[in-house]
Amino acid sequence: MQQNGYDPDWAKVDVHEVPRIKVKPPGPRSRAIQQRSEKYMQGYSSQAHLFPVAFESGNGVILTDVDGNQYIDFSSGIYVTNWGHCHPKITEAVVEYTASCRIATISTAKSRRGWPRPWSRSPPAT
């Protein structure tokens, strides 16, 4: 049922269906991406070493890796914790905003105090 323009059950999870493991993690595609990333990226996240899986997409609390495995995301970051991956209202707002081409450089996007927004909250160097 639609409420406020979206389905409130958009992120509902059937715990009998997820997690769904098709290939023992990390799968071959995840391993290849991990190896390539370690070759070029310094200071790689320790979390990537603990669970070396490359995620391809997220929806609600479900993450899907490049090998087709699906997991319930119990380690989501600060923005995903409250809203879930790809919340339809947030996605709609981002698409609408980016479609309007409201792009400005930091030098032109300043508040009354002269601080750049939203990229930084620290005062400019004097």
pTM of this prediction? 0.68
**10: number of CA atoms within 13 Å, CB side?**
19
Q: How far is residue 67 from each of residues 4, 18, 33, 52, 55, measured CA to CA in Å?
A: 35, 15, 11, 12, 9
Ordered per-residue pLDDT tens for the chain, 126 residues: 566 667 888 888 898 999 999 999 999 999 999 888 877 776 666 666 677 899 999 998 899 999 999 999 887 777 777 788 888 888 888 888 888 765 555 554 445 555 555 544 454 554
- Tell me the domain boundaries of the chain: 11-119
Q: Please, are residues 86 and 92 in contact by the beta-carbon 8 Å criterion?
A: no
Q: Please, are residues 47 and 58 in contact by the beta-carbon 8 Å criterion?
A: no
